[in-house]
Amino acid sequence: MADKRDLEEAETTVFSAQTKKRKADLETKNGKGNEKDESSDECENVLRTFETSAVLSESAREKNIFVHGKMWGQDAVVILEKTPIQRDVLSQMFSESSLKLQMKNDIYSTFQLQAPAHLNEIKATLVFPATQKHIQKYQRQESFLLEETAQDYLSITLPFIQEQRFSVQWVYNILEKKAESERIVFEDPDPETGFVLLPDFKWNQKQVDDLYLIAISHIRDIKSLRDLSSEHLPLLKNILHKGQAAILDTFGVPRSKLRVYLHYQPSYFHLHVHFTRLGFEAPGCGVERAHLLQDVLQNIQSHARFYQTRTLYCPLRADDSLLQKYRDAGKI
């Protein structure tokens, strides 16, 4: 639940201004001089200084690995992911790759295919400096399904959220165009019903099979599903309809091919809505955490304060501090 970005996020390449300054100071002190612009296509390999401490988790199915280590004496997390194969490079991959036969049996043959470097990319995401919460977030953990009544939310969950004071400054930076403005696909600037729509960092935007965008509302006082009521129907409908239209116009994916949902618990406490391609098993799209926006609209239309009265369920990791709060209260 810490400030995850699914980079659910995140999933986010993070370099604070202070970190950049420390890095520049260190390089100047060591006589390395000028570094290349990080925004250029060819940037300096900052991972060259990464020292591996432990593998936090890995998935052969999803072809990714999460690694904890150190950079310039500070904790860092590196996420390595194999990028999806694009259809428009198949002919090039077949013609320019080298093959090594591994097994042949009747009509079946398996090979080790070595593709050209430009067709064999690995996406690298760096979280630096990483906090202990980041490290715990990426570490494989046992999960528990939390049953949260309306009273539990008021007496346990809400005080926990208020105590933690989770930072969403990076969200405000996007809304105020201080960061990532070039990534915004669509914006409705209305202060009450408006939002920005931009790609999630998990999507490389090279194919629509794993399309993943996030709509972030301009209004700032909605933490989660629990805060939504009938007064927010215009906002939610606007996000749904204009978000679907923008994705159709920009990426050619119709609304019948989109899964539009909110997370509970969210990974950061500012209203945001996920748009993913139907058929893509995005992290967090399971029924224990994802709530279809269309269902949310119908629920609120049938009961103005539906989410203030309902018992909600959500998965929490074994090391989640909120889970311990519920244990201490005798709820688990």
Q: Is the C-alpha dihedral spanning 239, 274, 202, 170 positive or negative?
A: positive
Q: Is the C-alpha dihedral spanning 19, 126, 30, 38 positive or negative?
A: negative
**Residue 25, C-beta contacts closer than 8 angstroms, at least 6 positions apart:** none
H or E, element range at 58: strand 51-59
Contact, 10 vs 125, CB < 8 A?
Answer: yes
Q: Is the C-alpha dihedral spanning 54, 56, 61, 63 positive or negative?
A: negative
Contact, 159 vs 42, CB < 8 A?
Answer: no
Ramachandran bin of 73, using left for φ above 0, alpha for ψ from -120 to 50, beta for the remaining angles: left
CA nearest 263: which of 301, 233, 293, 300?
Answer: 293
Spatial separation of the C-alpha atoms in residues 69 and 116, rounded to whole Å: 29
Q: What angle do CA 269, 83, 57 make, to 5 degrees?
A: 60
Contact, 326 vs 156, CB < 8 A?
Answer: yes
Q: CA 66: distance to chain centroid?
A: 14
Contact, 320 vs 4, CB < 8 A?
Answer: no
Q: Which residues are catalytic?
A: 272
Spatial separation of the C-alpha atoms in residues 119 and 127, rounded to whole Å: 25
Contact, 174 vs 196, CB < 8 A?
Answer: yes
CA nearest 317: which of 19, 44, 42, 56?
Answer: 56
